[in-house]
Amino acid sequence: MAASELRPAPVPGPAGPREGVTVIADRISNAYLVEEPEGVYLIDALFSEGARPLLKALGPEEKRKTLKGILLTHQHMDHVGGAARLHWLTGAPVSAHRFDMPAIEHKSPAIGPPLLSQLMRRPAVTVAQRLEHGAMVGPFQVIHVPGHTPGSVAYLHKAKGLLFTGDTLITGKSGRLALTRRTFCYDPEQAALSLSKFEGLKVSAIFPGHGAPVWDQAAEQLSDALARLRKVETPVDHTIFGPEGRPEIHPGMPGWKEG
C-alpha cells in the first residue's frame, strides 16, 4: 500500500480505547485490540517491527496472557508481520482464511501483483484456525471478501456493530471509505464485487486496515461507499475467484485442480 494513498490514523501508536477498541497505528497500517469479558482479541499485526508497540499496548506480561486470538484479515506483510513474535510471546492462536493460510505459513508463495513484492517477505507463523465465510472467532463473524487477496476477510462484532474491513475498505484522503487502489489488489473487480457482503450489516463503527476509523454515522458512510464503489460490470461468475473465491477456476491459487 502506498503511503501517499492513505490518511494515517489520527494518533500514531495506541489511541483509545473507545467501545473497547484500541487503535495501534504505524505510518501506514492499523491494528486493533478489542477487549471482551473473556480476554483481548488482536485484529492484524502491522509490520514485523509492529510487534513491539502491540506488546506495549497489551500491557504487562500477565495481561498479555489474556490475548485470546490474533485475527488476520489477509496475507500481506503490513498486516501479518508482527504475528509470529506475538504468537511466540503470548501463545495466542492465529486465525486466517484458508486461501491465504499457505502464504502466511510460507507453504506457498504470497499472492499479489509485482508492486507488492516488497510486502511479501514476512516471518512465517502457524495458523491454528482455518477460517471460512460465516465462521465465528470469539464474538466475531468472518466475512470472506476476496479481491485484495484470495483470502481477504472482514470481521464483524455483531453484538456491538463493529466492522473491521482490512484492506477491502480503507479511509482515503477525503476521509470517505474507499477501495484499495487497483494496483495493490490481486483482482480489483472481485474486490468491488465483494462489497455486496456488507449489504444489510448493522454497524456502529468501521475500522479499516489503513486510514482513520469511522466512528460517526458509520452505517450511513457504509451505505454511501457501497453505492459509490460497486459499479462493476463484470458478472461475479466471470471473475477469477468465482462467487465465493473458489480457487479451482484459476491456476496457481491454493487448491486449484485442472478440470
Q: Which domains does the chain have, with CATH numbers?
A: 3-249 (3.60.15.10)
Is it the case that residue 2 has pLDDT exceeding 80?
A: no
Bridge partners of 162, per DSSP, are 157, 205
How far apart are alpha carbons 257 and 24 in whole angstroms? 40
Whose grid coordinates read 502466511?
104
How far apart are alpha carbons 213 and 9 in whole angstroms? 7
Contact call for residues 122 and 81 (beta carbons, < 8 A): yes
How far apart are alpha carbons 34 and 30 in whole angstroms? 13
How far apart are alpha carbons 154 and 163 in whole angstroms? 7
Q: How far apart are the first and last CA of the chain?
A: 35
Closest CA to 69 of 44, 90, 94: 94
The Cβ of residue 158 has, within 10 Å, a number of other Cβ atoms equal to: 14
Q: Largest Cα–Cα distance of the chain, in whole Å?
A: 54
How deeply is 120 buried, as exposed, middle or buried, from its count of CB atoms within 10 A (0-12, 13-18, 19+)?
A: middle
Give the DSSP per-residue string, 132-181. Answer: -TT-EETTEEEEE-TTSSTT-EEEEETTTTEEEEETSSEE-TTSSEEPPP
Is it the case that residue 255 has pLDDT exceeding 50?
A: no
Contact call for residues 173 and 191 (beta carbons, < 8 A): no
pLDDT band for 16, please (50, 70, 90 cuts). Answer: low
The torsion angle over the Cα atoms of residues 219, 199, 170 and 56, rounded to 10 degrees, is 70
What tens digit of pLDDT does each residue of 27-69 get? 889 999 999 999 999 999 998 887 889 999 998 887 888 999 9
Instruction: Show Cβ contacts of residue 133 under 8 Å, excluding neighbours closer than 6 positions.
Output: 142, 143, 144, 153, 244
What amino acid is encoded at 104 in this protein?
A: I
What tens digit of pLDDT does each residue of 158-209 get? 999 999 999 999 997 788 899 988 777 888 888 898 999 999 999 999 999 9
What pTM does this model have? Answer: 0.82
33-37, 128-132, 162-166, 253-257: segment of lowest average pLDDT: 253-257
Residue 63 has a pLDDT of 81
